[in-house]
Amino acid sequence: MATELPEIPGLTGAADPGDEALDAYSRVVSTVAAEMTTHVASLRVRAVGWGGAVREGAGSGVVFTDDGFLLTNAHVVGTAGGGTAAFADGTESAFDVVGVDPLSDLAVVRARGSTPPAARLGDADRLVVGQLVVAVGNPLGLGGTVTAGVVSGLGRSLPTRSGRAGRVIEDVIQTDAALNPGNSGGALADAAGRVVGINTAVAGIGLGLAVPVNATTRRIVSALLAEGRVRRAYLGLVSVPAPLPAPVVQRTGQATGLRVVEVVPGSPAVRAGLKRGDLVLSVGRSPVSDAQGIQRLLFAESIGVGLPVTVLRNGAMVDVVAVPVELTEG
């Protein structure tokens, strides 16, 4: 007489309800990986500095035009004028550095030879916390590395500096997708295979940061392509987000402004009469609620041009006109 064996979980042959979800996750990651690795190159640079010292560096870059332009980190190329790009299919090409912007940690290079087609660029401003992202790099020409995770934070800030000029990269993407050595300059892609960020730093164990690809990034890239650098306007304000009083919210419909915590001596902000403690409501007649709201206005076209600023001071709205000057790095 046959004896029935008891069912043992995991050995019965029955489908685990989690398998289908896992397979769906794997399919998304593998599809994005297959597409993105063709667009991501390994970049190797070699620069000669003071006293003949040689600096060698490596990172990744993302092809973003069909005629051979790649986007990477400024810290990957440093002061080098060019280098070598190696792609996942085994091809290599020399490249020239077109433009570098240390204050956004972005750089554009152009391959001299043929490259894979351009990756699709997305919009990081549409990301939400918890969304799946895939980090793709090509460290040391090893054919591409892929890690997956989620957007673990948005609106992070990353301080940058070039000479005496300092800036904060706003809206940096925080992710738990591991960033391997050499992944700087690689792509952070969404589930649709669109590049939403350029991997820029490892902030800690299990934590990575990426410069967002958004409207501001596109302006920076356009400036690098046209002039090889980014000209920025400078006001001389240091501010933090702050809630607006209820009567102002009811009147304007705006819930948050920027509290001025420092006005740099001798700056255009001082000359305009802005003061510490002012609550900035709008700049250039556009409401502002974070530093990025001001920074996105401070590009070349604002240099030397009057910029209306509305602040709340001692309960009253005050209008001033500030004239930004060009931000210098020296």
Distance of CA 87 to the CA centre of its chain: 23
Q: Is residue 110 classed exposed, middle or buried when 0-12, 13-18 and 19+ CB atoms within 10 A define those classes?
A: buried
Quote the strand ranges of 102-236, DSSP E. Answer: 106-111, 120-121, 132-137, 145-162, 165-175, 187-190, 194-204, 207-212, 233-234
Measured between alpha carbons, how far is 263 from 315 in angstroms, rounded to an integer?
20
Residues tagged active-site: 75, 105, 184
Measured between alpha carbons, how far is 196 from 211 in angstroms, rounded to an integer?
9
Measured between alpha carbons, how far is 34 from 36 in angstroms, rounded to an integer?
6
In the chain, DSSP finds a helix count (H) and a strand count (E) of 6, 21
Q: Which two tokens stand for residue 29?
A: 């990651």
Strand partners, 266: none
Picking from 64, 7, 13, the residue whose alpha carbon sits closest to that of residue 41 is 64
